[in-house]
Amino acid sequence: MSNDLVVHVIDDDDAARDSLKFLLESAQFPVQAYESGSAFLEALPTAGRGCVITDVRMPGVNGIELLQRLKKLPFELPVIVITGHGDVPLAVEAMKLGAVDFFEKPFDDEALLAAVRAAINQYEKDQKRESDRAGINARIATLSQRERQVLEGLVAGNPNKNIAFDLGISPRTVEIYRANVMTKMQAGSLSELVRMALLAGILEGKQEAPKARLSGTERAGD
């Protein structure tokens, strides 16, 4: 778990906020505390990434409204909601808005700490996936149009001869394009190449291109 990731605690109750901050710091979590949802949103542009623990009932921006605003951001922060007795309907609404967990007061300290660890671990995995996707998309951008078509054929599970037929080129030419794709994508195997393409969503929304037919002379020179 990265030391750069922060647990943001939001609660208008000073005693509850200080108690939760002490619990998390005792478990070696970096913590930033806020007395309101508005204070957190104001600090958000420069606040460290990590996860959020928020009380659901607060004056001004409550936990539900906070979740609604966070959903509009270009990045995601996992949110754990703390509720009072009888606030389960609000907690369920929070889960529908994307909260990863909720706890009723009084909550079990170890259970909450476990939930925070799980939320941060998931955040780290999500961030790594986004970083990997960005790198893969950058490699895909270096492919020529024909290389991209061959890649799409491979990801669709088509053998070389089928890709050659669909594109109107020879199987040998497909092999050459395939080798170029493997090199540019830095893929050590076909399975790795397929995983990369699927992570990038390369086939999502793809429309089937017309199956052009080329003459023998054009095929040889493609």
Q: What DSSP string describes 120-158?
A: HHHHHHHHHHHHHHHHHHHHHTTS-HHHHHHHHHHHTT-
- Name the DSSP letter for residue 171: H
Q: Is the pLDDT of residue 194 over 90?
A: no
Q: Who has greater pLDDT, 154 or 126?
A: 154
Classify strands 31-34 and 50-55 as parallel, antiparallel or unpaired. unpaired
**Rounded distance, CA 40 to CA 62, Å?**
11
**8 bridge partner residues:** 32, 52
* Confidence tier at 129 by pLDDT (50, 70, 90): confident
Helix axes 109-140, 14-26, angle to 10 degrees: 70
* Confidence tier at 216 by pLDDT (50, 70, 90): very low
pLDDT tens string 16-65: 999 999 999 999 999 999 999 999 999 988 887 889 999 988 888 888 99
**33 bridge partner residues:** 9
Q: Is the pLDDT of residue 209 over 70?
A: no
pLDDT at 197: 87
Domain boundaries, the chain: 6-128, 142-221
Q: Is the pLDDT of residue 205 over 60?
A: no
pTM > 0.75: yes or no: no
Q: Is the pLDDT of residue 211 over 60?
A: no
User: 110 to each of 19, 33, 106, 184, how far by Cα in Å?
Assistant: 14, 20, 12, 48
Instruction: Give domain 142-221's CATH architecture.
Output: Orthogonal Bundle (1.10)
Show the tokens assigned to 126.
């999500």
Say how many CA atoms lie within 13 Å of 12 toward its Cβ: 12
Largest CA distance in the chain: 81
Classified by CATH at the fold level, domain 6-128 comes out as Rossmann fold (3.40.50)
Show the tokens assigned to 120.
């941060």
* Confidence tier at 92 by pLDDT (50, 70, 90): confident
**Rounded distance, CA 142 to CA 111, Å?**
47
pLDDT at 76: 80
